[in-house]
Amino acid sequence: MSGDRTAPVGPATVAALPLNVKIRNHRGKTIVGGYQHFYELTESAAFIWRQIDGVRTVSDIARLIAEEYDIDQATVVGDVVELFTELAEHDVIKISEKSPGSEV
């Protein structure tokens, strides 16, 4: 899998953390960032962040969130796509597509 921050994010997208990303927990808030951009994550965005492992797809993460928060998975996919798109545009995550037939 090769990362391409300009590739469109979709249900089969996999996110990984680049080496330059900083993660801080400060007074109960999760703050993440790259070289120039930092984000204070909401509780649900922090939950999404903790699922990024370079293996799980957007759909996999959406399923976990839907179960955790008892909400519709289809809605969550859109939220994860939106978050990953913004973070990838600012080099806070690397994105790629899951290869067909690859093991999770």
What CATH number was assigned to the domain covering residues 13-96? 1.10.10.1150
User: Residue 18, Cα to own-chain centre: how many angstroms?
Assistant: 12
The 10s digit of each residue's pLDDT in 9-60 is: 999 999 999 888 888 988 888 999 877 788 899 988 999 999 999 999 999 9
Q: What b/e sequence results for 21-60 when a residue is b if at least 16 CB atoms lie within 10 Å of its CB, and e otherwise?
A: beeeeeeeebebbbeeeebebeebbbbbbebbeeebbbbb
What residue spans define the domains of the chain? Answer: 13-96
In this prediction, residue 6 carries a pLDDT of 60
Single pTM value for the model: 0.82
Distance CA 1, CA 14 (A): 9
